Amino acid sequence: PEYDLAIRGGTVVTATDTIRADIGVRDGRIAAVADRLADAARTIDASGLLVLPGGIDSHVHIAQPSGPGIVMADDFASATRAAAAGGNTCVMPFALQPRGQSLRETALAYRALAEGQCHIDVAIHLIVSDPTPAVLGQELPAMIGAGFTSFKVFMTYDDLVLNDRQILDVFDVARREGARVMVHAEGYDAIRYMTERMERSGQTGPYGHALSRPQTVEREAAHRAISHAELVDLPIVIVHVSGGEAMEQIAWAQERGMKIHAETCPQYLTLTAEDMKGLGQDDPLAGSKYVCSPPVRDTASQEQIWSGIQRGVFDVVSSDHCPFRYDETGKRNPKGRTSFRWIPNGIPGIETRLPILFSEGVSKGRISLNRFVALSATNHAKLYGLYPRKGSIGPGFDADLTLWDPNRREVIRQEILHHGADYTPWEGFAVTGWPVMTIAGGSVIVEDGRILEEPGRGRVLDREIDRTKLSPRL
Ligand code: DUC
Ligand code: ZN
Ligand code: ZN
Ligand code: ZN
């Protein structure tokens, strides 16, 4: 037969087109997209289904060191298993540089952790926490050249925060070397001040987390990051934007022609700070299941973020999957009972990102199918150096595909998920639209929630710098 696999009769959706077509796969790549195809060794009937580029989640945390006594709930096997079940074929986690440790050592050790353990391909970002002269002068340029072409910097957290001069210095390296920088924009000193104020006033429960990090601290940091990016002349991505205030700063910069990209996440479209009050629950730490940073806001913020998605302020919707269990090693840890400041920040969402975005976005008529594909796959590939290998459907692309039933109704429940966390913040959340098959590199790896393979197929991808693509048209 001419093809290893043919997917027939589906509606093929890319960021720009929606067509009825068959897809022929050979040697793990898409060989043809056509009206009618020659013979294939295996045929999948996709009639009634959408055929989408596999989801790419460019912001996930896997097996990341998270502080004494706190264990991240997913390793590479479980995170990529859950991602695949949720319709994804590529995820991008972070190799976090502990202060005092070489960036090279960090990156290589993290890659070794991933090798052989993944169900789907991964590409690794760095987190730069210690921009010493050696890191700025040699290590960071070397690692960028070695395929770690993107990294994140933090404007808060004791162990990660960079000061303004350090941010300018790493931006400068990124500009010279052609790397993509993601910025966690929340102001460190303002958060510390507010945290102490909340603790003094007795607001120590999970909801205090929201009060300690109001939109003001995010808006200020976003503006500061934008200003630094303007000075250095570096396009940046401001990640996990939670509400209208930071978004307005980004829109303002974009209107002035600055290349500021923005990411948001399903939690900012569907959850609110009220969830952190744990109303009606016996356990005073129940609200900790929703603690993430920036915090989730309110329904007005959700609408603002939707309007930003519709206006094109946002390029990508990622999960910011950052899974901690609700047991004693996670959210409900003993120190967390004394103050919210000890509750680990982050929620699991790698498996539910696509269904929530599809249901709230496409099924509810807020965004088109094509925009869904752009926000969930194509733009991730373009921003982070995986395009035109991944992120769309056409000859030459990896055969990473998700068959999607746009009409299937599901209720999100922990018991149907595949992640390592012991809860989902979306327990009981009803969606319309669900992934029914995930195909990675031309192989069916998930069918109807069943994982068909042991981990090991997924590769760790090196990326190359293409300076002409640093500011892709999205
Ligand atoms: N930032 C993230 O990107 N993820 C989880 C926690 C955080 O602060
Ligand atoms: Zn962050
Ligand atoms: Zn953009
Ligand atoms: Zn994150």
> Which atom of ligand 1 has the smallest separation from the CA of 240?
3
The pLDDT tens digits of the residues spanning 375-428 come to 999 999 999 999 999 999 999 999 999 999 999 999 999 999 999 999 999 999
Q: Integer distance in angstroms from the first to the last C-alpha of the chain?
A: 37
Rounded-to-integer distance, Cα 345 and Cα 124, Å: 21
How far from the centroid of its chain's Cα atoms is residue 434's Cα?
Answer: 19
- The token pair at 450 is 């069943």
- Give me the pLDDT at residue 464, please: 85
Maximum Cα–Cα distance across the chain: 72
- 277 SS3 class: helix
Ligand 1 pocket, mutate which of 61, 161, 238 (most atoms under 8 A from CB): 61
Ligand 1 proximity of 320 Cβ (cutoff 6 Å): yes
**Residue 473, pLDDT above cutoff 80:** no
Rounded-to-integer distance, Cα 31 and Cα 29, Å: 6
- Give me the pLDDT at residue 465, please: 80
The pLDDT tens digits of the residues spanning 157-173 come to 999 999 999 999 999 99
Amino acid at 411: V
E strands in 272-377:
316-317
CA angle 91, 97, 99 (to 5 degrees): 160
The pLDDT tens digits of the residues spanning 420-453 come to 999 999 999 999 999 999 999 999 999 999 999 9
Ligand 1 proximity of 398 Cβ (cutoff 6 Å): no
Rounded-to-integer distance, Cα 346 and Cα 86, Å: 19
Ligand 1 proximity of 420 Cβ (cutoff 6 Å): no
Q: Is the pTM of this model over 0.90?
A: yes
The Å distance, Cα 80 to ligand 3 centre, comes to 27
- Give me the pLDDT at residue 474, please: 72
Contact present, 71 and 64 (Cβ < 8 Å) = no
The pLDDT tens digits of the residues spanning 200-258 come to 999 999 999 999 999 999 999 999 999 999 999 999 999 999 999 999 999 999 999 99
**Residue 470, pLDDT above cutoff 70:** no
The Å distance, Cα 383 to ligand 3 centre, comes to 9
**Residue 262, pLDDT above cutoff 80:** yes
The Å distance, Cα 272 to ligand 3 centre, comes to 26
The pLDDT tens digits of the residues spanning 6-24 come to 999 999 999 999 999 999 9
Q: How confident is the model at residue 300 (pLDDT cuts 50, 70, 90)?
A: very high
Ligand 2 (ion): which residues have CB within 5 A? 184
- Give me the pLDDT at residue 471, please: 67
Ligand 1 proximity of 187 Cβ (cutoff 6 Å): no
